[in-house]
Structure 1
Amino acid sequence: MSDYLVKSLVYDGAIRAYAVDATETVGEAQKLHDTWSAASAAFGRSLIGTLLLSASELSGDEKMTVKINGDGSIGAIVVDGNAKGTVKGYVHEPHVHLPLNEKHKIDVKGAVGSQGFLSVTKDLGLKEPFTGQVPLVSGELGEDFTYYLAKSEQIPSAVGLSVFVEDDNTIGVAGGFMIQVLPGASDEILDEIEKKLQEIPLVSEMIRKDGKTPEEILYTLFPKDKVKILEKMPVAYECNCSKERFAEALASLPKKDLEEMIEQDKGAEAVCHFCGKKYEFNEKELTKIMNEANQA
């Protein structure tokens, strides 16, 4: 079944909870960027976190960009998300494989690093986008998204992100959840959630071993009769690049740069960071772009 995300309210609206199966989404990203195990796990968790964050905070045509810049071996991760459930992104160093950590899991912290920042820039259709930034607290990313929500959005939350990478670097399963505490949640409810979070297996194990759906992940976290499903939305990795978009970017370059491309290079090639597609521009096309930019 195609990937999807479930939104819910729990305990009569005291808790907001989301869960997502993003196996195909993360798998598509892995194929496009040829990420190796450590990069696959870190990039996948970043995509899942952005899906959950976008679903909880955006509507209409709003969009956001999540940047994770740590001192680990993969360098920067950039992910774009929107309210429609699509994400796209890239990782600076996709070919990173590390020894397993002390828990015999992929060393995401080693790949991301523990010194650096996580920033979220939201384009809400206003004059200026809004950016919130927090330091990395663990490099495991679930804790880092949790910390962002607590510090920048002032929402007590718990975020679980999980990616199972096969021996050939492809994605076995990927998914996650987000729990947000709303005003009116009692101490008893919070204690119950805290206890449950210590007991539950990784999301990837729930999907891979038990075949759990996003709804069933929520029912693992909370009593089923306390969960009210609000919406199911498809999610996917989707790049909206086009030759027209790259032409607009070229038009913003200094005139001397365009003249150099025309006279010396006899054309230009643009490559999309997000999906790897290549777009060729010949001398005639570049001249037209330059002339139209000068007239604007």
Structure 2
Amino acid sequence: MRIIKDMGLKEPYVAITNVDYSSLPDDISAYFYNSEQIPTIISLACEDTNDGKILCAGAFMVQLLPGADEDFITKLERKAEAIRPMNELMKGGMSLEQIINLLYDDMDTADDSLVEEYEILEEKELKYNCDCNSERFQRGIMTLGKEELKHIFEEEKEIEAECQFCGKKYKFTENDFEDILKK
């Protein structure tokens, strides 16, 4: 799995980590624990209809601050496993904040050091869109080089490329590469 973090520097930070678990939240949590030494719980939910329309989608991430007791995250993980799946809670009308409150509700408070206050740092409305475009695909195809492009167009009338994220297809003909082919 490749993790790309934009930290406001010239180039984004890129980390590559193993995919050892059967779920994306577990793999991302493992990345944070192993690579950044931050105990993390992540929950993702997406519920759609048979025709692909999204009914509800949401996610939350809980991370321990430095110095916090790691037993707390273990208790929180157990609580997350004990409640209904997040997609069911969201379909039932619960907001993400209500789900977080549910996680914290009824925590064993015999040891107050394990129950910590939480703060919602950010909420974002997400929408699915892909920023692919013809020019980006054309630049990628141009990296094949002049000779390879000539060879392809000797056998095919066009090159078809498909975006792996949104499935949009782009078709290019020899005319689209005439500048590089004439050189």
TM range, normalised to the smaller chain?
0.7 to 0.9
Q: What are structure 2's unaligned runs of at least 5 residues? A: 106-116
Alpha-carbon distance in 1 for matches of 2:97, 2:158: 52
Q: Equivalent residue of 2:36, what SS? A: coil
Deviates most, 199-208 or 142-151: 142-151
Q: What are structure 1's unaligned runs of at least 5 residues? A: 1-118
In 2 relative to 1, CA 165–284 (structure 1 residues): closer, same or farther, beyond 3 Å?
A: closer
Alpha-carbon distance in 1 for matches of 2:77, 2:158: 59
Percent of aligned positions with the same letter in both sequences?
31
| 2:155 is equivalent to residue 264 of structure 1 | yes
Q: Which amino acid aligns with 1:205?
A: E
Shift of 1:130: 2.8
Bigger share in strand: 1
| 2:32 is equivalent to residue 149 of structure 1 | yes
Question: Who is 2:103 aligned against?
Answer: 221
Q: Equivalent residue of 1:175, what SS? A: strand
Alpha-carbon distance in 2 for matches of 1:191, 1:121: 24
Aligned-residue Cα RMSD (Å) equals 3.0
Alpha-carbon distance in 2 for matches of 1:169, 1:272: 21
Question: Who is 1:287 aligned against?
Answer: 178
Larger relative contact order (CA 8 Å, sep ≥ 6): 1
In 2 relative to 1, CA 272–208 (structure 1 residues): closer, same or farther, beyond 3 Å?
A: same
Question: Who is 1:200 aligned against?
Answer: 83
Question: Who is 1:177 aligned against?
Answer: 60
In 2 relative to 1, CA 265–198 (structure 1 residues): closer, same or farther, beyond 3 Å?
A: closer
Q: Which amino acid aligns with 1:132?
A: I
Alpha-carbon distance in 1 for matches of 2:11, 2:122: 30
Question: Who is 1:237 aligned against?
Answer: 128
Quick check: 2:76–2:103 contact (8 Å CA) kept in 1? yes
Alpha-carbon distance in 1 for matches of 2:43, 2:123: 19
TM-score (norm 2): 0.74
Structure number, greater radius of gyration:
2
* Map 1:1-296 → 2, pairs under 5 A: 119-122=1-4, 124=6, 126=10, 130-136=14-20, 138-164=21-47, 168=50, 170=52, 172-186=55-69, 189-190=72-73, 193-209=76-92, 211-222=93-104, 226-291=117-182
Quick check: 1:173–1:208 contact (8 Å CA) kept in 2? yes
Quick check: 2:33–2:39 contact (8 Å CA) kept in 1? yes
In 2 relative to 1, CA 193–199 (structure 1 residues): closer, same or farther, beyond 3 Å?
A: same
Quick check: 2:64–2:70 contact (8 Å CA) kept in 1? no
In 2 relative to 1, CA 276–289 (structure 1 residues): closer, same or farther, beyond 3 Å?
A: farther
Q: Which amino acid aligns with 1:265?
A: E
TM-score (norm 1): 0.49
Q: Equivalent residue of 1:134, what SS? A: coil
Shift of 1:198: 4.0
Alpha-carbon distance in 2 for matches of 1:279, 1:270: 5
In 2 relative to 1, CA 246–289 (structure 1 residues): closer, same or farther, beyond 3 Å?
A: farther
1:116-168 deviation digits (Å, cap 9, x = unpaired): xxx224264556853231341x31333232222211221111222334465x3
In 2 relative to 1, CA 189–140 (structure 1 residues): closer, same or farther, beyond 3 Å?
A: closer
In 2 relative to 1, CA 267–128 (structure 1 residues): closer, same or farther, beyond 3 Å?
A: same
